[in-house]
Amino acid sequence: MFCEHCGKEVNPDAEVCLNCGCRIKNSKKQVTTQDDQTANTICIVSLVCTFAGSFIFGILGDLSGLENFFDTLAGFSSLFGFALMVYARITYPNNKFAKVLMWIYIGLIALIVLLVILVIVFGILFFTSLVK
């Protein structure tokens, strides 16, 4: 079997060409049920870290009086959850849960960016109206 991109011979079980790094389209390697279960587990942990981790660390910060410390942990928990989703998408590219989770995170990021833009615009409008 040969790479369609560079023409070098590749192992039929390979998913990518070792010479150029391109994905092999006719790879014989099949996704197993174990791979799917592993990817699903990674995605569930990603969801827990992203959403429940922020909530739990927020409550712990309020209860303990260490708001700054636990707010930092909440932020890192969300980043870790996002990183787990990226890992699942790269390692298990055909997993449907990882694909859906990726689009959910993209939608959330787009919503956050939109909200930040709206706050900035309304802040500018509010402060310019105070100056006049």
CA atoms of 85 and 99, how far apart (whole Å):
9
Band (pLDDT 50/70/90 cuts) for residue 110 is very high
Tokens 């040969």 sit at which residue? Answer: 2
Higher-pLDDT residue of 106 and 132 is: 106
CA atoms of 126 and 13, how far apart (whole Å):
62
Backbone angles phi, psi at 128, to 5 degrees: -70, -30
Residues 6+ apart with CB under 8 A from 43: 84, 85, 88, 95, 97, 98, 101
The 10s digit of each residue's pLDDT in 9-42 is 887 777 788 888 777 766 445 556 788 889 999 9
pLDDT above 70: percentage of residues in the chain? 92
